[in-house]
Amino acid sequence: MSAGRWLDAGVVGAADAVAAGAVTAEALVGEALGRLRSDPHNAVLHVDGEAALEAAQQVDAARAAGEALGPLAGVPVALKDNLCQRGTPTTCASRLLEGWVAPYDAHVVERLRAAGAMLVAKTNMDEFAMGSSNETSAFGPVKNPWDPARAPGGSSGGSAAAVAARLVPGALGSDTGGSVRQPAAFCGLFALKPTYGRVSRYGLVAFASSLDQVGPFARSARDGARLFAAIAGRDGRDATSADAPSADWEGACARGVEGLRVGVPRALLEGASAGVRARIDAALEALKDAGATLVDVTLPHAKHGVSVYYLVAPAEASSNLARFDGVRYGLRVEEGGGLDAMYEATRARFGPEVKRRILLGTYALSAGYYDAYYLRAQKVRTLIRRDYDAAFEACDVVATPTAPTVAFPLGERTDDPLTMYLSDVYTLPASLAGLPAISTPAGLSEGLPTGLQLVGRAFDEATLFAAAGALEKAFGPLPSPVPAGPGEHAGEEGAS
Partner 1 sequence: MSAWEAVVGLEVHAQLRTRTKLFCACPNEFGAPPNTHVCPVCLGLPGALPAPNEAAIDLALRAALALGGEVRERSVFARKSYFYPDLAKGYQISQFALPIIEGGAVPMALEGEARSAALTRIHLEEDAAKNLHVQGETVVDFNRAGTPLIEIVGEPVLRSGAEAEAYLRALREVLVFIGVNDGNLEEGSFRCDANVSIRPKGEERLGTRVELKNINSFRFVRKAIDHEVARQAALRESGGEVVQETRTWDERQERTVAMRGKEEAHDYRYFPDPDLPPLVVDAARLARAEETLPELPAAMRARWVETLGLTAQDAGVLAAHPAIAAYFEAVATGLGEAAGLKPAKAGKKAANFVMAEVLRETATEGVEARFPAAAPEVAALLALVEDGTINGKIAKEVFAKMVATGEPPKTIVEREGLAQVTDTAAIEAVVREVLAANPKQVEQYRGGKTAVLGFFVGQVMKATRGQANPKAVNEILRALLAEG
- Interface contacts to partner 1, rule CB under 8 A: 82-84, 90, 92, 97, 100, 102-104, 106, 201-206, 208-210, 236-240, 315-316, 318-319, 321-325, 327-329, 339, 343, 362, 365-367, 370, 374
Residues taking part in catalysis: 80, 155, 179
Nearest residue (CB) to partner 1, 374 versus 392: 374
37-72 burial: b if 16+ Cβ within 10 Å, else e? eebebbbbbbbbbeebbebbeebbebbeeeeebbbb
Nearest residue (CB) to partner 1, 185 versus 364: 364
In whole angstroms, the minimum distance from the beta carbon of 369 to partner 1 comes to 10
Are the beta carbons of 446 and 273 closer than 8 angstroms? no
Cα distance from N-terminal residue to C-terminal residue, the chain:
9
Conformational region of residue 339, where left means phi above 0, alpha means psi within -120 to 50, and beta covers everything else: alpha
Distance, in Å, from the CA atom of 472 to the CA atom of 439, rounded to the nearest integer, reads 12
In whole angstroms, the minimum distance from the beta carbon of 281 to partner 1 comes to 38
Nearest residue (CB) to partner 1, 309 versus 374: 374
CA dihedral over 185, 272, 210, 96, signed as positive or negative = positive
153, 157, 163, 168 alpha-carbon torsion, rounded to 10° = 180
Number of H helices and E strands in the chain, helices first, is 18, 11
Helix axes 274-289, 461-475, angle to 10 degrees: 100
In whole angstroms, the minimum distance from the beta carbon of 264 to partner 1 comes to 32
In whole angstroms, the minimum distance from the beta carbon of 235 to partner 1 comes to 9
Nearest residue (CB) to partner 1, 232 versus 478: 232
β-pair partners for 452: 401, 440
| AA identity, residue 254 | A
In whole angstroms, the minimum distance from the beta carbon of 347 to partner 1 comes to 9
CA dihedral over 241, 244, 250, 252, signed as positive or negative = negative
Distances (CA, A) of 462 to 88, 241, 455: 33, 19, 11
Nearest residue (CB) to partner 1, 104 versus 254: 104
In whole angstroms, the minimum distance from the beta carbon of 230 to partner 1 comes to 19
Nearest residue (CB) to partner 1, 181 versus 347: 347
